[in-house]
Amino acid sequence: MRFSTVAGSKGSFDLARDVRGFAVKLYTQEGNWDLVGNNIPVFFIQDAIKFPDLIHSAKPEPDRNFPQAQTAHDNFWDFVSLTPESFHMIMWTMSDRAIPRSFRTMEGFGVHTFRLLDAEGRSTFVKFHWKPRQGLQSVVWNEAVKINGADPDFHRRDLWDAINGGDFPEWELGVQLFDDDFADGFDFDVLDATKIIPEELVPVRIVGRLVLDRVVDNFFAETEQVAFCTQNVPPGIDFSNDPLLQGRNFSYLDTQIKRLGGPNFTHIPINAPKCPMAHFQQDGHMAMRNPKGRANYEPNSWGAADGGPREDPARGFTSFAETADGPKQRIRSESFADHYSQARQFLVSQMPIERKHIGDALVFELSKVERPDIRSRVVSHLLNIDATLAATVADGLGLALPDPAVAAREPIADLPASDKLSIVKNGPASFKGRKLGILLSDGADAAIFTALLKAVEKEAAVYEVIAPKIGGVTLSDGTTVSAKHKIDGGPSVLFDAVAILVSADGAALLSRDAAARDFVTDAFAHCKYIGIGAEAEALFAAAGIAEDLDEACLPLGKAADAAPFIEACRALRFWPRELAVDLDAQPQV
């Protein structure tokens, strides 16, 4: 399994606002199956011929080679504003889906429509889904920016630590199955990679599970050299006529030949099938094995012993015998012409806080665009999605509302909301696998600390200690506790919730430290649950938020408070707080 970002170069920070690659290589008994997907179920373009232009526009601008790992620049938004089909994907990438808290809390999607074939050659359309057992979770933008500074490897470290700690991430493999009658009656073309099929219309059936229970032995051998190709499918799975998928079936092979030095990249152990195989391919750069015997071609008359492998029509790969009608033309189908309806459906499926984040993200991205005409052109498309969103973005940019962009097809304004599209509605049921940051000082209450650790363990969560010195602290009963982070190297953005257990002297000491004040103000600003020891008041007063504490700032005055605090942390965020701490949420006067 390989997770990846798209816009950044190798080594770029993990918390970029970006689509994440979600690629799985399954070593089946009939050959490798590469399900090369993303954490977003749609894509920017409908036709693979535009793929180089999309990637060029999103990457650093060629004359200056920046910005790195971000789309907040003129080239990207110029391309998008001239490519209306991108706007469904734009809604997803401007949402919190593009800044996941962890690889472990992302969904995965095959994106395209494929076909399943039975032994009689009958076909059923299929879309593939990976559903995380850990629930969905993302970060907020200000938090992402600070995580990138504190730990650019945050996602990779999180995955590594979870697996090595025995908290194995797990996803359920699901399928949406539908026939030609559904496809013909659906409002959109099922071959259009910029569209989804809502789960309310075609429920996802769970058919398997994937568990990550070990890390690689060597990064270069097993991660850098792994090669995924969408055309790698076993018998029983076939491709649809999705034009983007058809293009990927060519481009991925070209990529691997260039990236790994030649056509024999399938000889590399991580890419080689684990089942018996036979073919007549030979030689080439870095060939590790060649067919034995005299025959290296087919058909041949050397017989079963010396003639090499023979085809097996009954068990070999078979494509769906589809009947084609109509002229073959190099045009975009009219059935692909609706670019805004599902973008609006995604928006109305979000909780209010999620819709706010989409507006915030669009304002931020477009504020980095230098040309006013590009900003205005983007807003003209937003008017075809939602007038309130367009007005919010225009106001955030100080921009007069333009006329709506001309739509190739009139948008459908009344598509129903789909709860499965919201992160907040599909979060975890517990704090399991999440991380509590505990800020300690010398003299902190040992009984409360011990109770907190027991509550964390019971929840199957993890914790890390932050202290004024990396050597740790001495608690009230004389026991010593080592620290994972020194306060200025362990900001609260690294944790899902925080607890402040300090003595009166410790609070006075930390209240003079900017990093300690940032620790609590960031946790508060990012709407996290905060456990507050009885002696911590001075730190919150110094940070200027003592009068603003709310019901998600819970007391840890005695050992019995620990369990209720961890139970409260299951909610992950207290979103009402954001309306009080974000200028964009305040009424304008």
Residues 4-49: tens digit of each pLDDT: 999 999 889 999 999 999 999 999 999 999 999 999 999 999 999 9
Q: What is the pLDDT of residue 62?
A: 95
Strands (E), 165-277: 170-178, 205-211, 237-239
Place of tokens 């363990």: 457
CA distance 229 to 232: 6
Place of tokens 């990976």: 130
One DSSP character per residue, 337-358 reads ---SHHHHHHHHTS-HHHHHHH
Q: What is the pLDDT of residue 145?
A: 98
CA distance 130 to 208: 9
Choose one of 236, 258, 280: the last residue of a domain. Answer: 258
Choose one of 258, 280, 297: the last residue of a domain. Answer: 258
| Domain contains 295 | no
Q: What is the pLDDT of residue 556?
A: 98
State which amino acid sits at residue 120: E
| Domain contains 327 | no
Tell me the CATH number at 463: 3.40.50.880
Q: What is the pLDDT of residue 456?
A: 98
Q: How many CB atoms lie within 10 A of CB 128?
A: 22
Burial bucket for residue 71 (CB in 10 Å: 0-12, 13-18, 19+):
buried
CA distance 222 to 1: 10
Tell me the CATH number at 39: 2.40.180.10
Joined together, the tokens standing for residue 367 give 């504020």
Residues 521-539: tens digit of each pLDDT: 999 999 999 999 999 999 9
pTM listed for this prediction: 0.96
Joined together, the tokens standing for residue 550 give 């709310």
| Domain contains 421 | no
| Domain contains 141 | yes
Q: How many domains does the chain have?
A: 2
Choose one of 258, 292, 309: the last residue of a domain. Answer: 258
Query: Residue 132 sits in which domain range?
Result: 13-43+100-258
What residues form DSSP beta bridges with 497? 436
Q: Apex CA 188: angle with CA 186 and CA 193, to 5°?
A: 125
CA distance 6 to 364: 20
| Domain contains 444 | yes
* Angle of helix 387-397 versus helix 352-367 axis, rounded to 10: 40
| Domain contains 389 | no
Burial bucket for residue 559 (CB in 10 Å: 0-12, 13-18, 19+):
middle
Strand bridging mode 435-440 / 237-239: unpaired
Do 98 and 108 touch, CB atoms closer than 8 A? no
The Cα-based distances of 53 to 45, 263, 330, 437 in angstroms read 10, 26, 18, 43
Q: Which residue stretches of 384-445 are H helix? A: 387-397
CA distance 476 to 533: 13
| Domain contains 119 | yes
Joined together, the tokens standing for residue 214 give 């070990």
Alpha-carbon 427 to chain mean position: 14
Grouped pLDDT means (10 residues each) for the chain, 589 residues: 94 96 97 98 96 96 94 98 98 98 98 96 97 98 98 98 98 98 97 98 98 97 97 97 96 94 95 92 89 90 90 88 86 94 98 98 98 98 98 97 98 98 97 98 98 98 98 98 97 98 98 98 98 97 97 98 98 95 66
| Domain contains 6 | no
